[in-house]
Amino acid sequence: MRHTPSPTHRALAAAGIALGVLLTGCASVYRVDSQVQSFARWPQAGTPTVPVAPQRYRFERLPSQLEGSAASTQDTLEALTRSALGRVGWTVAATGEATPWTVQVSAGTLQLPRAPWDEPRAGLRPSIGLFGGNGYWGTSLSMRLDMPYYERQLTLVIRHGATGQAVYETSARHDGRWASSPELWGAMLDAALRDFPQPPSGPRQINIDLPR
């Protein structure tokens, strides 16, 4: 005898298909939403107007960025910064070349055990769900673990090479569950350099979607 799905089963199946399509679409990208604030003081460098691309610069490092693992991390960060600045027409100079600008970039991550609004979830917790193909409801025990949450910030400062005057400062902050990746930091750098070299005043949010 052929079984005819009930309206309830048909509704559940349709909802499952719709949810699957939605999750598939969401899984293709993730959003890096950065809180950005930038400050420009180009006249301090003796230039009446903002510099027009192309421009040349060299990197500067703090003493804490010169040795060990910090130096390796800085190498990676500066490589990403080189790409981001290249997209706005600024090119890093060869070693020993005099340049009108210097760039200093720093970044840090604070890993939290969970999001600030989450409750601790480690341990066995009961869950309720639909089991089997006959529409039976039941309960089960499942292990639910805390998901790490990350607070990240980066800062980029441009100085006039001859005087050392800081003429541009920009920062980007991003909080979320995504683990670190070059693409994520690259998106934060692109957000920090949005509207460069004439940024609007005040904080703003810059959203950049990345493929998973």
- What does residue 206 show for φ and ψ, rounded to 5 degrees? -115, 120
* Mean predicted lDDT score pLDDT of the chain: 82
**In-domain check, residue 19:** no
**In-domain check, residue 127:** no
Q: State the Cα–Cα distance between residues 79 and 153, nearest whole angstrom.
A: 17
Out of 11-20, 34-43, 193-202, 203-212, least confident range: 11-20
**In-domain check, residue 179:** yes
Number of domains in the chain: 1
How does residue 143 score in pLDDT terms, banded at 50, 70 and 90?
A: low
**In-domain check, residue 17:** no
**In-domain check, residue 140:** no
Ordered DSSP codes for the chain: -PPPPPHHHHHHHHHHHHHHHHHHHHHTEEEEEEEEEEEE-GGGGT-SSPPPSPEEEEE---GGGSSHHHHHHHHHHHHHHHHHHHTTTEEEPPTT---SEEEEEEEEEEEESS-TTPPP--SEEEEEEEETTTTEEEEEEEE-----EEEEEEEEEEEETTT--EEEEEEEEEEESPPP-HHHHHHHHHHHTTTTTSPPSS-EEEEEEEE-
Residue 48 belongs to domain spanning = 32-113+148-211
The answer to whether the pTM exceeds 0.85 is no
**In-domain check, residue 66:** yes
Q: What is the pLDDT of residues 181-191, one digit of tens each?
A: 999 999 999 99
Q: What is the pLDDT of residues 3-32, one digit of tens each?
A: 454 444 444 444 444 444 444 444 599 999
How does residue 208 score in pLDDT terms, banded at 50, 70 and 90?
A: very high
Q: State the Cα–Cα distance between residues 138 and 130, nearest whole angstrom.
A: 7
pLDDT at 8: 45
For the chain, give the percent of residues with pLDDT over 70: 73
**In-domain check, residue 161:** yes
CATH of the domain at 72: 3.30.160.670
Q: What is the pLDDT of residues 98-134, one digit of tens each?
A: 999 999 999 999 999 888 777 776 554 555 555 455 5
Question: Is residue 164's pLDDT more than 80?
Answer: yes
pLDDT at 24: 46
167, 134 in Cβ contact below 8 A? no
**In-domain check, residue 104:** yes
Between these two residues, 160 and 120, which has the higher pLDDT value? 160
pLDDT at 2: 46
